[in-house]
A = this chain, B = another copy of it.
């Protein structure tokens, strides 16, 4: 069974789809000058866009891991998340604190979804 990849770069791709399951790379904000709210909004918008490219959407997320660099941003991240996540189809989630590839990144989110 073949694997379809999206936005294939020299180091990683943004998404792979295999056997009805979608795997997203860890998504970070493009505009890293923004605060946790702004970065979370950007990341979730990117996730929406990627899932749409694979013919899926946020109601079909199976698992998500949220890495935030500082748990003092937990509530502000959740405020954006709670407004975005589809009621009745909220996904399993884990949130942990971790430093990310660049100090300016405040949040990184990975997603596994149904195609």
Q: Which residues of A line the B interface, CB within 8 A?
A: 1, 3, 5, 8-16, 18-21, 23-26, 60-63, 65, 67, 71, 74, 78, 81-82, 85, 87-101, 108, 110, 112, 114
CA distance A21 to B21 in the complex (A): 10
List of B residues within 8 angstroms of A95 by Cβ? 26, 100-101
CA distance A111 to B78 in the complex (A): 22
Q: How many copies does the complex hold?
A: 3
List of B residues within 8 angstroms of A98 by Cβ? 96-98
CA distance A63 to B15 in the complex (A): 9
Q: List 11 A-B contacts (CB under 8 A).
A: A10-B82, A13-B92, A19-B114, A23-B92, A24-B92, A63-B112, A74-B101, A95-B101, A96-B100, A97-B98, A97-B99
